[in-house]
Amino acid sequence: MFLTGFTIFFLTSIITFQLNFSLSTIPSSLNSLPLGGHFSFDEFTLSHAATDFGNRYQYHPMVVLHPESVSDIAATIQHIWLMGPSSQLTVAARGHGHSLHGQAQAQGGVVINMESLKVPEMQVHVGNSPYVDVSGGELWINILHETLKYRLAPRSWTDYLHLTVGGTLSNAGVSGQAFRHGPQISNVKQLEIVTGKGEVVNCSKEQNGELFHSVLGGLGQFGIITRARILLEQAPDMVKWIRVLYSDFTAFTRDQEQLISSENSFDYIEGFVIINRTGLLNNWRPSFNPQDPVQASQFNSDGKTLYCLELAKYFTLEEINVVNQEVEMHLSHLNYIPSTLFLTQVNYLDFLDRVHVSEVKLRSKGLWDVPHPWLNLFIPKSKIHQFAEVIFGNILTETSNGPVLIYPVNKSKWDKRTSVVIPEEDIFYLVAFLTSAVPSSNGTDGLEHIISQNKRIVEYCERAQLGVKQYLPHYRSQEEWRAHFGPEWEAFVQRKYVYDPLAILAPGQRIFQKAITFS
């Protein structure tokens, strides 16, 4: 027993010594790399890299890389790749830190501050097929400002524009334009990728197509997006922005599905759910004008769950009269509550950046940097009524702590070769529970209650076999990831083996774990 105990103690000591020795040599090893950028080891920078918008997980890296060029990123990853499986170092690309569950964090590893990457500079190309070349660390809001100088703009957006290109393209990038143009990953012409071996590869549908499609929606598992060529279209001047309310879910979904199937109806279509929220129309009045002020002032929800349809029609100043007629015609075919028609007219930039206005208000009240236990689901059209009846009727009791979005998209606008997993049906809905938790609260607005509520929603979907897929997915075990990908799992694993065989990249997704050996 003494010899056995001594042997275990001896082996443990050797392993600990080797690991500690390895860790102690890593900073000097990285610092020896000839980079244009630099590494940061100070506690403030490391703490910042260990936070994100979800504000629930904190995994501290060993070091943060601030790259000046793509070669800085490639050299760092290649260095870690050459260290082999004896190194525990992993690498996470961090954009604007808007992940929800620590996906852009790397415990004891290297976090790459992608916003430091400014090479190559943004370049807009005009012509019959306009596009813009941008860094993977560029914010979409900056792309919008630059392309508008040429009266051009990307075709597909997220609701919030202060996100990086690499971040949204690693997931999908979905908003109210997705029914027409598809998600952002359907509007990319070319990518530059740094793989898990430190190789810099240019790829497109025609060139290195397997890597191109792997990385799009690939959750950062196969490479870091360092440059993207984004398709553009002619930008409008103004937007007709409309909100109407429904009390009947069937009419609400029927109108949404009709609109996304029409060729020239609206340019943006979203919806959201309203449960136990009083005074809603009064909250809209500073920004939206009711079509019939008298009827709107007399509107009473009678405690019903309401469904808001949000629409936008883009136009140039020369088209104002024609657009007014088109909007009136399309609205005449919808079955909303007549007294709840609210309209406004804003410029295109203000419409697209509308969420930032809310951010500024929340920051001023100290309500932005709170936990955000969000849940995003893709739900087949055939199951949306069953889902709504149970979730909006029983599990969800109010929507005062954040919006609940619900709107359909067309599967035909999604490329099945990418890594994103979506339902099988031709039309499926995005349902997003975008809740904010009140710190230290033990009530229905507290973190634990919201997490429990999300769990009940997910468990119901699984129990009822609705064919739901999570968007921005988060799982704790590889078995859960296998179930998420379903028949696509083996292809996903094979792609990982080809492009990141040591599982260096994106450890925060918790899909693959780097195997460490001691020599």
Give me the domains of the chain, ranges plus CATH numbers: 123-234 (3.30.465.10), 238-470 (3.40.462.10)
- Quick one: average pLDDT of 19-30? 59
The fraction of the chain above a pLDDT of 70, given in percent, is 94
pLDDT for 84: 94
**pLDDT at 7 exceeding the cut of 70:** no
**pLDDT at 460 exceeding the cut of 90:** yes
Which region among 101-115, 171-185, 393-407, 495-509 has the lowest average model confidence (pLDDT)?
A: 393-407
pLDDT for 41: 94
pLDDT for 505: 98
264 confidence band (pLDDT: 50, 70, 90):
confident
Q: How far apart are CA 9 and CA 16, in angstroms?
A: 10
**pLDDT at 16 exceeding the cut of 50:** no
Q: Return the structure tokens found at 151.
A: 């009266």
Hey, what amino acid is at 99?
S
pLDDT for 298: 85
- Quick one: average pLDDT of 302-317? 94
The predicted-structure confidence for 205-253, as pLDDT tens digits, reads as follows 999 999 999 999 999 999 999 999 999 999 999 999 999 999 999 999 9
For CA atoms 440, 445, 448, 450, give the dihedral sign: negative
Residues contacting 272, CB < 8 A, separation 6+: 307, 308, 310, 399, 403, 404, 405, 406
Mean pLDDT, the chain, integer: 93
- Quick one: average pLDDT of 440-456? 94
The predicted-structure confidence for 70-112, as pLDDT tens digits, reads as follows 999 999 999 999 999 989 999 999 999 999 999 999 999 999 9
Q: Give 230's strand partners.
A: 132, 188
**pLDDT at 311 exceeding the cut of 60:** yes
Q: How far apart are CA 54 and CA 352, in angstroms?
A: 23
Nearest to 117 by CA among 223, 219, 226: 226
User: Which range in 120-124, 233-237, 359-363 is most confidently predicted, on average pLDDT?
Assistant: 233-237
pLDDT higher at 448 or 10? 448
- Quick one: average pLDDT of 279-283? 83
**pLDDT at 263 exceeding the cut of 90:** no
Q: Give 432's strand partners.
A: 376, 405
pLDDT for 17: 40
Tell me which residues are annotated as active site. Answer: 98, 159, 270
pLDDT for 517: 66
